[in-house]
Homo-oligomer: A and B are copies of this chain.
Amino acid sequence: MDVTKLASGLDTVWVVLTAAMILLMEGGFALLEAGFVRQKNAVSIIMKVFVDIAFGALIYYIFGFALMYGKDAGGWIGTSGFFLKGDLSHIDLSISHETYWLFQCAFVIAVISIVSGAVAERVSFRAYILYAIAMTGLIYPAAGHWIWGSGGWLGRLGMIDFAGSAAIHALGGFAALAAAIQIGPRIGKFNPDGSANIVPPSNLPLASVGAFILWFGWFGFNSGSTLSASNGAIGHIAVTTMLAASAGGAGCIVFTMMRYRKADPPSVINGALAGLVGITAGCAYVSDAAAIAIGIVCGIAMVLATEFLESRRVDDPVGAFAVHGVSGSLGTLAVGLFAQPGRIQEAGHAGLLYGGDWRLLGIQLLGLAVVAVWGFGLTWIALKGINAIVPIRVSRDEELIGLDVGSHGVPAYSQDQDFIEWSRVKP
């Protein structure tokens, strides 16, 4: 038995298993979103998750991956690897290009799933498919190339984003914000005087278990991003991931008990997720204590951001921007504060609080700004364009009936009416 072959085998199973864990996160997203929305839209939001994973994987296979990780052109875009063919020799890993693709594919599906929550309960299914193609085929691959692609300009500047607080979560979060604003609030969410009504989640147990599945998958997300089992940081990454998530959850429990006099379940669920999002950029580079601080700050910021959005009459049904946009941003910047010199390989890189200068924080801020503007702007443009072809919002009647019966002809939950002819049109 050859040791190099053994090491390659180990890295392969590590990446395949963690990729599978990330893909299971789609089940987590489906449960989280189905639990947070109203019953009448629970299936429709899950169908969007199916779009994410089905169309997302195919589009990323055909050209998304090539644009992101193909041979660099000017720091802006990849140009090889369509259908995983062509010159990919610049990707020099112990795992095969196919295995690498699978892991990256799990990432792109997560990005688009972030957006699905923000437009829940009112987006047209056809329009959503078109947007999902735009996001997984261009918007994310381009931004991803700048940060992670070989030769990408933000990466060359020294931007650090280990597993994607910026590339995945801030991008997805700002895209979600643009989508939520452009599509407008759900009917009845805001009163004429501007005050907001609370939409009680239809199924909090489902939403909770969705969060636990996401938490599980995040160990794959962050630890798996080493792409090699020989990477000595794996244990540390898993620990900072755990601590930030727990701190986000505990922080939200305490904070909502103080602020609302009650531990608020949706906030606690999202608070743990906010901690996970926040640690994603720095999980390999910050200390345990910093991870806890990041978790607490992101959890509390999520609650405040949720309130702020409501006060601005932006309707984001599952808190996609508050969780992914805000915590993704904070996590990206936190690297500039907390990165420890010993954990970062490259010279000259250290967080401001750990002996570094303002340079890293500045680069992080620049990268974040670029990603936020790109994610928001391109999504705005894409939806405007799509709206000219297929209206992005369903009709008022369909929204009131609910998208499950309205768009898909079947309710999420059926009582024991024995046999009813549903509206599925048979040939």
Contacts and interface: CB of A to CB of B under 8 A. Distances in A.
A357 interface: no
A259 interface: yes
Contact of A262 (B24, B209, B261, B407): B407
Given A23-B215, A61-B288, A201-B414, 7 more contacts: A20-B216, A53-B246, A57-B242, A98-B239, A99-B239, A200-B410, A260-B409
B238 A204 contact: no
Interface string A1-36: 101111101101111110111011011001100110
Given A203-B412, A262-B425, A188 B419 contact: yes
Nearest to A208: B46
Contacts of A261: 425
A8 to B, nearest CB: 8
20 contacts: A1-B7, A3-B6, A5-B230, A9-B229, A16-B219, A20-B21, A42-B205, A43-B208, A46-B205, A49-B208, A50-B272, A57-B242, A84-B288, A96-B235, A98-B235, A198-B419, A198-B424, A200-B422, A202-B415, A202-B416
A323 to B, nearest CB: 16
B230 A40 contact: no
Contacts of A249: 50, 53-54
Contacts of A201: 410, 414
Contact of A58 (B206, B268, B292): B292
A265 B208 CA distance: 23
B61 A234 contact: no
Could you tell me the dominant secondary structure of chain A's interface residues?
Answer: helix
Contact of A10 (B229, B231, B236, B419): B229
B243 A57 contact: yes
A114 to B, nearest CB: 17
A426 interface: yes
Contacts of A27: 208-209, 212-213, 215-216
A408 B267 CA distance: 11
A238 B19 contact: yes
A38 interface: yes
A13 B46 contact: no
Given A205-B30, A216-B24, A39 B415 contact: yes
A21 B223 CA distance: 14
Interface string A220-237: 100100001111101110
Stoichiometry, as copies per complex, reads: 3
A89 interface: no
A95 interface: yes
Contacts of A83: 288-289
Interface in A301-325: 307
Interface string A240-277: 00110111111001000101111111101100100000
A38 B416 contact: yes
A218 to B, nearest CB: 9
A54 B23 contact: no
A226 to B, nearest CB: 9
A417 interface: yes
Contacts of A220: 20
A424 B6 contact: no
A199 interface: yes
